[in-house]
């Protein structure tokens, strides 16, 4: 949910870095310290992943500077290089789940099936629903509902997608069917953003979320027309201008979905297309100790810049 913040894990600053099989130098992360401001079974990796070396001190310095906990996973699908930091720790996924709710509905109905109009009442409308709140009287097609959920992070739209699937457990089962045994899907909007330290509900890990994202956008989980619809809608996202999009070089294309929750949670997950190169999968999740902490888009942008530089 955009505008509603949460945390994901009791061990808020656990010192675990996911290190990697093969290293290349990483110099980009050094500048961050001073700034205030394996795949799904359905998607075979192009190469054996190797990794950019990440110093725990580099990321720890960034966390101290911003007062945040970071979870990062980036994969260059062409070279196989990866960057990982706290990649197997749990974070609240917040509104980033809307990518996968949409993908699951597309898998269920196909593109031909999403022009059906769905009806709902004023009682169904929750906060942060800028599009669906305007169409209570006439309803919306599922195509328009997905557009609202993905591009405007509309929370009622997300709940209508949950309803189409059969509720949060149905999304969890679908994720399991594409190889995800990690993510917990438990509640609808907006309560899925109301977790406490140690609460594993509605959480995932950066590595898992990246695998899932790669599967639905770049893999064979969805038929080509559904994959194109999902990707094009994410490319037109309106909520991510200051996060991953702000951190990649000019000229890169980005299809992303942001998320915001309690404890200063700010997330962004994306597929990025560098000109003339294979796409990069990037997941950046973050939270803070204090329940009322503010979010920090600049943190996501800075980590993005460092991650893509590390990948080379």
Q: Which residues are catalytic?
A: 95, 189
Phi/psi at 6 (5° precision): -155, 170
Residue 286, SS3 per DSSP: strand
Distance CA 273, CA 221 (A): 20
Is the distance from CB of 17 to CB of 206 less than 8 angstroms? no
| Pairing of β 140-141 and β 117-118 | antiparallel
> In which element (H, E) is residue 310 found?
helix 297-311
CA 39 to chain CA centroid, Å, is: 16
Residue (of 166, 197, 13) closest to 92 by Cα position: 197
**Tokens 């094009």 sit at which residue?**
232
Residue 305, SS3 per DSSP: helix
Residue 15, SS3 per DSSP: coil
The answer to whether the Cα torsion of 51, 218, 152, 176 is positive or negative is negative
In the DSSP assignment, the letter for residue 32 is G
Helix %, strand %, coil % of the chain (to 5): 40, 15, 45
Distance CA 218, CA 129 (A): 29
Distance CA 55, CA 245 (A): 25
């Amino acid at each position: 949910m955009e505008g509603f913040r949460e945390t994901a894990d009791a061990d808020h600053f656990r010192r675990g870095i996911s290190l990697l099989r093969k290293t290349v130098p990483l110099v980009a992360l050094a500048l961050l310290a001073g700034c205030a401001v394996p795949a799904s079974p359905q998607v075979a990796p192009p190469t054996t992943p190797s990794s950019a070396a990440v110093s725990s001190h580099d990321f720890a310095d960034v966390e101290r500077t911003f007062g945040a906990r970071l979870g990062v996973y980036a994969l260059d699908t062409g070279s196989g290089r990866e960057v990982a930091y706290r990649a197997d720790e749990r974070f609240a996924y917040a509104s980033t789940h809307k990518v996968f709710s949409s993908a699951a509905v597309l898998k269920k109905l196909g593109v031909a099936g999403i022009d059906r109009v769905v009806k709902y009442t004023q009682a169904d409308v929750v906060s942060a629903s800028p599009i669906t709140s305007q169409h209570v009287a006439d309803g919306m097609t599922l195509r328009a509902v997905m557009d609202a959920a993905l591009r405007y992070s509309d929370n009622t739209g997300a709940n209508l997608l949950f309803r189409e699937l059969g509720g949060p457990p149905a999304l969890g089962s679908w994720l399991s069917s594409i190889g995800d045994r990690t993510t917990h899907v438990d509640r609808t909007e907006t309560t899925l953003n109301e977790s406490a330290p140690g609460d594993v509900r509605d959480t995932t890990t950066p590595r898992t979320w990246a695998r899932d994202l790669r599967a639905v956008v770049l893999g064979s989980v969805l038929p080509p027309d559904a994959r194109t619809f999902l990707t094009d809608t994410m490319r037109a996202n309106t909520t991510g201008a200051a996060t991953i999009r702000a951190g990649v070089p000019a000229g890169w294309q980005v299809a992303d979905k942001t998320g915001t929750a309690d404890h200063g949670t700010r997330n962004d997950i994306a597929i990025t297309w560098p000109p003339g190169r294979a796409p990069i999968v990037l997941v950046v999740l973050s939270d803070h100790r204090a329940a009322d902490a503010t979010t920090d888009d600049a943190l996501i942008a800075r980590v993005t810049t460092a991650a893509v530089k590390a990948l080379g």
